[in-house]
C-alpha cells in the first residue's frame, strides 16, 4: 500500500496507508486527519481540502483547481493543491502533505 505522511502546522506528523484510486482527501478523511474538511465531498467546489505539496509526482494543478485555490481561506503558496484532485497511486508512495493553519 501507498504510504502518505500528513504534517500539521505545528510539525506533528501521521503516516497512513492509502488505497490506489482514492484521492489524498479521501485518505485524510478515512484516517481522521485534522485540517482536511472536504465540505463539498471532493467535487472541487470549496477549497476546504487545501494543502501544500512540494512533489512533482502529483502533477500540476488544473486551471479550475488554481481558480478555486484563489478562494482558499489559508495562505496560497506555489505548492498549494486541493487534496481532492490528487489521486493515490503506487508512484506516490512516501508523499508528504503539509496542512495549512486552520482558523476556528
Residue 75 lies in a domain: yes
Q: What is the DSSP string of the chain?
A: -EEEEEE-TTS-EEEEEE-TTSBHHHHHHHTT-TT---TTSSSSSS-TTEEE---GGG-PPPHHHHHHHTT-SSPP-TTEEEGGG-B--GGGTTEEEEPPPPP-
CATH number where 71 lies: 3.10.20.30
Whether the model clears a pTM of 0.85, i.e. scores above it, the answer is yes
Count of structural domains, the chain: 1
Domain holding 12, by residue range, is 2-98
Residue 51 lies in a domain: yes
User: What's the confidence (pLDDT) of residue 60?
Assistant: 93
Residue 28 lies in a domain: yes
Residue 79 lies in a domain: yes
* Burial (0-12, 13-18, 19+ Cβ within 10 Å), 7: middle
pLDDT 10s digits, 17-68: 999 999 999 999 999 999 999 999 999 999 999 999 999 999 999 999 999 9
Amino acid at each position: 500500500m501507498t504510504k502518505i505522511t500528513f504534517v500539521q502546522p505545528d510539525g506533528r506528523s501521521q503516516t497512513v496507508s492509502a488505497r490506489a484510486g482514492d484521492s489524498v482527501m479521501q485518505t485524510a478523511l478515512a484516517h481522521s486527519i485534522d485540517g482536511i474538511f472536504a465540505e463539498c465531498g471532493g467535487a472541487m467546489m470549496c477549497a476546504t481540502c487545501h494543502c501544500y505539496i512540494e512533489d512533482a509526482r502529483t502533477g500540476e494543478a488544473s486551471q479550475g483547481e488554481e481558480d478555486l485555490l484563489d478562494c482558499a481561506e489559508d495562505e496560497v503558496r506555489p505548492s498549494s493543491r486541493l487534496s481532492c484532485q490528487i489521486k493515490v497511486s503506487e508512484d506516490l508512495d512516501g508523499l508528504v502533505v503539509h496542512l495549512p493553519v486552520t482558523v476556528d
